[in-house]
Amino acid sequence: MLLGVTTDTMTGVFVSSNVCTFWPRFIVQNSYHFDIRILPLVGSRHLVESVLKGIAEGTNSRHDSQFITLKTSESCVIYSFAPVAKFESIHKGDLNDR
């Protein structure tokens, strides 16, 4: 696993301080003998399953441009996850779904 890192200067009473933000990056490698499509999503389990169901049924094309296609033996780093709903991290029960 790789980690992404950013540093920013704080504001207000913390103006002389810096903040470091760390987030996971995942490497995905296609070991199949056919192409695979990857769609990194973030949100509660229920919301992600709802988006995937919509994609499978062809009723949700909102995320089509965010798919990553990997051919056999190709790999990529996943560092950006598409939100499935606004404020998904504060929905009640999200921590239990992870």
**Per residue in 54-94, pLDDT tens?**
878 877 666 667 788 899 999 888 776 766 664 444 444 44
Q: What is the pLDDT averaged over residues 28-33?
A: 92
Residue 19 lies in a domain: no
The domain tally of the chain equals: 1
- H helices within 1-98, ranges in order? 45-57, 94-97
How many whole angstroms separate alpha carbon 32 and alpha carbon 73? 8
pLDDT reported for residue 90: 40
Residue 37 lies in a domain: yes
Residue 11 lies in a domain: no
Residue 34 lies in a domain: yes
Listed residue (24, 10, 9, 37) closest to 79, CA to CA: 24
Residue 56 lies in a domain: yes
Residue 20 lies in a domain: no
- Contact between 36 and 85 under an 8 Å Cβ cutoff? The reply is no
pLDDT reported for residue 71: 94
Residue 21 lies in a domain: no
Domain residue limits at 78: 27-97
pLDDT reported for residue 92: 43
How many whole angstroms separate alpha carbon 42 and alpha carbon 97? 12
Residue 35 lies in a domain: yes
